Amino acid sequence: MTGIFVSILNGLLLGSIYGLAAIGLTLIFGVMKVINLAHGSMIALGMFALYFLASSLGMNPYLALPLVAVGGFLMGLVVYGVAIHRVIGRAELMSLLATFAVSMIVVGLGTAMWSTSPYNVQFSIPGLSIGRYTIPGNHLVAAVVAILIAAALYVFLYYTRIGKAIRAVASNRQAAELMGIPSTRILAITFGIGIGIAAVSGALIATLFPFTILSGSSYELKSFVVTVLGGLGNPAGALLGGLLLGFIEGAVSPFFNVGWTPVIEFSLFVLILILFPAGLFRIGRGR
């Protein structure tokens, strides 16, 4: 019984990080209706950024997180300028392909530079023991950091000028422009924030598991599942969706072979898309 409880708790801790990763994706979709297929590659870049800051420069991984976030933000601005700006408002195919092209370029360069062999950030914090089981300290800290960042984003979106401008552009770009909001700049900033969050979530994942340049794609797929659970374009729903996905993974793993988890996840994903396209939790938007 304790085993199941610990498994679910572990799942929830991981789920908060899935949620954080998905917030980056869902924020971008909510504001500019672009599904960012470069999301996974940006998560992977976050992992490698943390690796080089922590292993090569010897920084404490958690102190390196703000640097990763700023790097991700700048990267997001560059990607927006190069690839996204011209496809906003055009057919979905164009934005999907543009972001996928970015992903191919990043993963291709990453593979050429770092190969596809696994990297690992050597680092651990004493864990919490429950009976025969131990919850690693890294997981606890990463989950707390993920939730703090999500809360900070919420405060930013609802209580600052730029945050309010972002929400205004999301609900109606033309009207926002008429109110004097520089919508192009706001879109670029939003994309930067989305990528920054993706990079930080990648960095947090790097403190837990070994990774390669290709690892991003599996977290990208998880982010899709999470955003669909929470409703596309709904950041608060994404965090809950992440926790739900983590809960499912934790609750399923003691009973099924691990290999079946993706079958359940993705079948659920398609079913929820068809049956509840607005997501399971309709909160945070005042509807």
Binding site residues, other proteins, CB under 8 A? 29, 33, 35, 82-83, 86-87, 90-94, 96-98, 100-105, 107-109, 111-112, 217, 221, 224-225, 228, 232, 257, 259-260, 262-263, 265-267, 269-270, 273-274, 277
Euclidean distance between CA atoms 152 and 27, whole angstroms: 14
Tell me the two tokens of residue 31.
């504001």
Hey, what amino acid is at 228?
Answer: V
Q: What are phi and psi of 277, to 5 degrees?
A: -60, -20
Query: CB-hemisphere CA count at 13 Å for 39?
Result: 30
Q: Closest CB to other proteins among 95 and 207?
A: 95
Q: Closest CB to other proteins among 1 and 258?
A: 258
Euclidean distance between CA atoms 209 and 37, whole angstroms: 23
- CA 260 to chain centroid: 23
Euclidean distance between CA atoms 206 and 71, whole angstroms: 16
Nearest to 185 by CA among 38, 27, 31, 29: 31
Q: Closest CB to other proteins among 171 and 267?
A: 267
Euclidean distance between CA atoms 250 and 196, whole angstroms: 28
Q: Closest CB to other proteins among 3 and 277?
A: 277
Residues 260 and 215 sit within 8 Å (Cβ to Cβ): no
Q: How far is the CB of 271 from other proteins (least distance, A)?
A: 9
What residues contact 174, with CB distance under 8 A and at least 6 apart? Answer: none
Q: How far is the CB of 259 from other proteins (least distance, A)?
A: 5
Tell me the two tokens of residue 212.
């390669």
Q: How far is the CB of 90 from other proteins (least distance, A)?
A: 8
Euclidean distance between CA atoms 214 and 236, whole angstroms: 28
Q: How far is the CB of 272 from other proteins (least distance, A)?
A: 9
Q: Closest CB to other proteins among 27 and 228?
A: 228
Q: How far is the CB of 239 from other proteins (least distance, A)?
A: 19
Q: Closest CB to other proteins among 61 and 233?
A: 233
Q: How far is the CB of 105 from other proteins (least distance, A)?
A: 4
What are the CA-CA distances from residue 273 to residues 84, 99, 224 (Å)?
A: 25, 22, 11
Which residue in this structure is represented by tokens 């409703």? 231
Q: How far is the CB of 107 from other proteins (least distance, A)?
A: 6
Q: Closest CB to other proteins among 168 and 232?
A: 232
